[in-house]
Structure 1
Amino acid sequence: MLRFLLFTLLVINGLLLGFNLGIFDRLVDLKMEKHEPHRMKAEKNVDKLKLLSASAAQDLVEASAKKAEPPIACIEIGNFTLADAKNFEERLKHLSLGDRVGRQELSESASNMVYLPSQGNKDAADKKAIAIKKMGVSDAYVIQDGSALKWGVSLGVFKTMEAAKTHVANLAKKGIKDAKIAPRQVSATKMLYQMYEISPDEKKSIDQIREQFAGIEEHQCTSKLGAKTE
């Protein structure tokens, strides 16, 4: 009996000694390294972990969410006058879309002209047209034919009456309140654009640029243009 008690005390002392020396912790670590090597490696390299602030963590989440957003395959924007097209392209440059932009010239017949009545003579009409262009109406030009509108100022021609009325309303917001609409058959060259694989952020920027031009429509492409700009 005494031998058994002595043996038991020796075993208990041995276990306590092993516990104090950390032998059992090492055995547990070895077992976990065998079954969960990646987690154990991460726990042993805690000095390499970095704590993120709440704002930094939010930025990381938002960045991941943006990466998950699929791009828009193709949008089509038009129709621009040649003067507006040049201005539109200039404003697109900061987006660096490169060969993701395609364009095409279209010959369009319009029958609704927005105009200002005759100014009486060429000098007065020229001054009026210049003043209007400074107000952001790039397609203003003096009417010089032999019609009753001679020495008036054309402010744009449109395929539909609805588009012409919208233009008149936009001109009124700029302070040009005496614009009228008259039937006038005019053939004009317009520019149509397509943008390919556009991100949601790029789409927002493009929309902001497009909204600066009156009467410009946007919709999904039905087919892609053949030519692309450089």
Structure 2
Amino acid sequence: MLRFVFWTLFISNLALAGYQFGLAGKWPLETREPERLKQQVRTDQLVQISASAAQTSSEPVAAEPEKKPEVIACLELGNFLQSDAAKIEDKLKTLALGDRQSRINISETASHMVFIPSQGSKEGADKKISELKRIGVSDYFVIQDQSNLRWGISLGIFKTEEAAKQHLSNLNNKGVRTARIMPRALTTNKFAYQLHQVNGDEKSKLDALIKDLPAHEERSCQKTS
């Protein structure tokens, strides 16, 4: 009986030893830790991230909306003397705005005039005009009424005294020394251009063109009756 128990325990121990050392084969789910790590691919590039980051990274990135070019609904240039119409229109037609360009008449009441006193005669006025042209002054008007300003030269009529003083200062910088300012209520018929749906490229071209235009104001379109 003891011999039977001995051999039974001996065989059991041998079976247990073989199982522990892998002699009986490997079970599918019994892969040891070192061998499992060897089977992983490129473990050096694994990075641990949080659950919220993983959720965010899996969401599709929304495309930024395309920025639309800026368009000016209606731009107005004015107010110009009727005598300047041909020169201004010759410049504006290079923009090729077609029916997006229109012209409006404006009645403007001014109260201050920059002028050169009477030159005594038409010949004297013509001589003074030649001097003005030589120094680059092209905006003028020979006064021919029967007042004491006859054969004087108007260099601009302005709504405010401040605007008249600024224009006189600009003329002085060009070399005009005999110009003066006087109050004079006068209504003049001028005109302005309205330019519709002006895009960025057209505005850049316009800015380059209007540098050579007579004194003017650039503004949003005024309502016309």
Do Structure 1 and Structure 2 share a fold, with TM-score over 0.5?
yes
1:97 alignment counterpart: 97
2:187 alignment counterpart: 187
Aligned residues: 160
2:161 alignment counterpart: 161
2:87 alignment counterpart: 87
Q: Matches of 1:133 and 1:109 in 2, distance apart? A: 27
Q: Matches of 2:220 and 2:108 in 1, distance apart? A: 21
2:177 alignment counterpart: 177
Identity %: 47
What does the per-residue CA deviation read over 1:187-225, in whole Å, with 9 as the maximum and x for residues that have no partner? Answer: 2110111111111121122223333345411122254x6
| Cα distance change on mapping 1:111 and 1:84 into 2, 3 Å | same
Q: Matches of 1:86 and 1:112 in 2, distance apart? A: 26
Bigger fraction of residues in helix: 1
Which of 1 and 2 has greater Rg? 2
Q: Matches of 2:177 and 2:205 in 1, distance apart? A: 30
What does the per-residue CA deviation read over 1:40-67, in whole Å, with 9 as the maximum and x for residues that have no partner? Answer: xxxxxxxxxxxxxxxxxxxxxxxxx9x8
Give the SS at the match of 1:187: strand
| Cα distance change on mapping 1:134 and 1:198 into 2, 3 Å | farther
Deviation at 1:118, TM superposition (A): 2.2
TM-score by length of 2: 0.62
Q: Matches of 1:105 and 1:127 in 2, distance apart? A: 33
Consecutive unaligned residues in structure 2, runs of 5 or more: 1-65
What does the per-residue CA deviation read over 1:125-175, in whole Å, with 9 as the maximum and x for residues that have no partner? Answer: 122124424655444222233333232211121222222222222323333
1:198 alignment counterpart: 198
Consecutive unaligned residues in structure 1, runs of 5 or more: 1-64
1:133–1:140 CA contact under 8 A, matched in 2: no
Give the SS at the match of 1:211: helix
Q: Matches of 1:174 and 1:209 in 2, distance apart? A: 22
1:140–1:154 CA contact under 8 A, matched in 2: yes
Q: Matches of 1:103 and 1:114 in 2, distance apart? A: 27
1:125 alignment counterpart: 125
Q: Matches of 2:163 and 2:86 in 1, distance apart? A: 21
2:32 alignment counterpart: none
1:78–1:191 CA contact under 8 A, matched in 2: yes
| Cα distance change on mapping 1:208 and 1:175 into 2, 3 Å | farther
1:19 alignment counterpart: none
Q: Matches of 1:125 and 1:221 in 2, distance apart? A: 38
1:83–1:138 CA contact under 8 A, matched in 2: no
2:80–2:214 CA contact under 8 A, matched in 1: no
Q: Matches of 2:117 and 2:222 in 1, distance apart? A: 40
TM-score by length of 1: 0.61
Q: Matches of 2:134 and 2:83 in 1, distance apart? A: 14
2:209 alignment counterpart: 209
Give the SS at the match of 2:212: coil
Deviation at 1:115, TM superposition (A): 0.6
2:221 alignment counterpart: 221
Q: Matches of 1:213 and 1:116 in 2, distance apart? A: 22
TM-align CA RMSD: 2.4
| Cα distance change on mapping 1:222 and 1:158 into 2, 3 Å | closer
Q: Matches of 2:122 and 2:198 in 1, distance apart? A: 46
Q: Matches of 2:82 and 2:187 in 1, distance apart? A: 13
Where do residues 24-173 of structure 1 align in structure 2 (5 Å cutoff)?
68-133=68-133, 135-173=135-173
